Homo-oligomer: A and B are copies of this chain.
């Protein structure tokens, strides 16, 4: 798919090339990975039921991108949809020097209008497991995502690179899927009072875009009654077609576009005795997931493109926005094993997804169909989730600890609120509403005093007497596009403070994702964060670097990052409907330096930038229009 070219030798966008060449000047043998993508509606059957999705080049999920650290990635996106704009966010890529390529509509760029083309050009800055996805409305949930793997290079080595003699297995990109389209999902979320409709639990969990709706590849006797209130049937064959043929599709002979192959199980082939690297990432709209491989343990070595001190697990929690690499030794009897992907954190109504770990040493066997897939941990065993998360530390031999202290602390209380009959998620009682002029364009072109709500920063704390253990009593939520202004180079601490929802005794786990940066996760705790009590417990020795971190129910999480990336960056809950309902904030970094950025004109030529900055080359002669005859 990708063609390699010498770095800095192509020139469609001279400005961008110059910037990238500067940024990559130290990298040797860097190449350019070039892709051209048509983003368009496709009919697809990810779970054996055909629906319209947003595909790339006629397929779902989008193409895998593989590059090496230091490479330039150059993706030409043609928007072939008829009425929808589109952007692509490169989740985990920090975009140093190219903040306009972060792919966040209204923040880093204008949506690419129907029929238009935009070229994303950026440096794959460090090795790791990443992915890309739509970041406009709820387009990610419509299927607009794919894998982005950055391999190590001599300049950017991975310390565990010699520990997997079997090589890499195909990445497992996890997602969840609804039969109701995202336009209807949005209509339900936007509706007032009793017309509000929550998106509900997904119909199907997908592994690399494949699942099986309402049937299981495993034996029907697989006892899931404890978690799933459904009659489960075994899918008719091993290729993912469901028992009820009507649920599958009319056409049967259709190669890669065949619905049956579209929903077939993912199979990972291994050879006995070898050790493999398995990458796992989640771009779910809602679900927290757990991955468990029958009869095998995993050693966690990477999280969000950062090295972690290796530790062994029976199963692994993956929240939306997170990624991991694990080492997997094929040390069991040569046969086939189930990989289960089950829902955690919410009472599941969705069957676990299944993939197959297949020892190629063994003759093709149906033994696996007679064994029961492993059962992932109970959805409500939060303590188990905490235990897993708390174990993640920076790798000792490559650890670069954070600055010892922060210049600034921002406390973000997240609450569910009811505002004029609309359900919102708010941060310190402010629900994020994005402007039509992207922040980056507004600041670049001196429109930051008119293009969005400029009544100061949003609150950076919440009242002393707020009780995070009970439903919010003060519902004075406002909707705003205000931003936090961060001084370039400053060290920022963020305290994520979870709280009770509108319903008594309910609080959810939220995975928060920061654009443009990794952050150190200094600590977690229950209840309200109290600096006097908790600051001393924070880990400033070997906290893990991440780009996504959860805040547990009724708990807190403390993060630290260096605001060293000029641009406009979102920090938000990665649950798609939660962001839709306002659960995020915006950081503007280096306001003065944004004015000096060579932002490509096509990245920000919309909204007030197009209307205010644009000056007709040839003003109209001030004449009256043609009169009506």
Contacts and interface: CB of A to CB of B under 8 A. Distances in A.
Contact of A435 (B85, B115, B436, B593): B115
A114 interface: yes
What is the size category of the interface that chain A forms with chain B? 35 or more
A596 B621 contact: yes
A420 to B, nearest CB: 14
A606 B614 CA distance: 10
A257 B194 CA distance: 11
Contact of A113 (B139, B565, B606): B606
B113 A187 contact: no
Interface string A609-624: 1110111111011111
Interface stretch (A37-45, A284-292, A466-474): A37-45
Contact of A187 (B41, B436, B618): B41
B436 A115 contact: yes
A629 B564 contact: yes
A412 interface: no
A5 B130 CA distance: 57
Interface in A111-132: 111, 113-116, 123, 125
A625 interface: yes
A241 B267 CA distance: 48
A120 to B, nearest CB: 16
Contacts of A401: none
A83 B113 contact: no
A22 B627 contact: yes
A597 interface: yes
A350 B366 CA distance: 49
Nearest to A86: B83
Contacts of A566: 625-626
Interface in A61-108: 80, 82-86, 94, 96-98, 106
A628 interface: yes
Interface string A549-575: 000000000000010111000000000
B96 A565 contact: no
B114 A85 contact: yes
A436 B113 contact: yes
Contact of A98 (B106, B195, B606, B625): B625
Contacts of A610: 605-606, 609-610, 614
Given A96-B628, A593-B626, A617 B43 contact: no
B96 A40 contact: no
A114 B436 contact: yes
Interface string A497-528: 00000000000000000000000000000000
Given A96-B625, A593-B626, A598-B620, 10 more contacts: A23-B628, A42-B191, A52-B184, A83-B111, A85-B113, A97-B627, A116-B436, A601-B616, A609-B610, A613-B614
Interface of A: 18-19, 22-23, 40-43, 51-52, 80, 82-86, 94, 96-98, 106, 111, 113-116, 123, 125, 136-139, 181, 183-184, 186-188, 190-191, 195, 197, 257, 434-436, 444-446, 488, 562, 564-566, 580, 590, 593, 595-599, 601-602, 605-607, 609-611, 613-618, 620-629
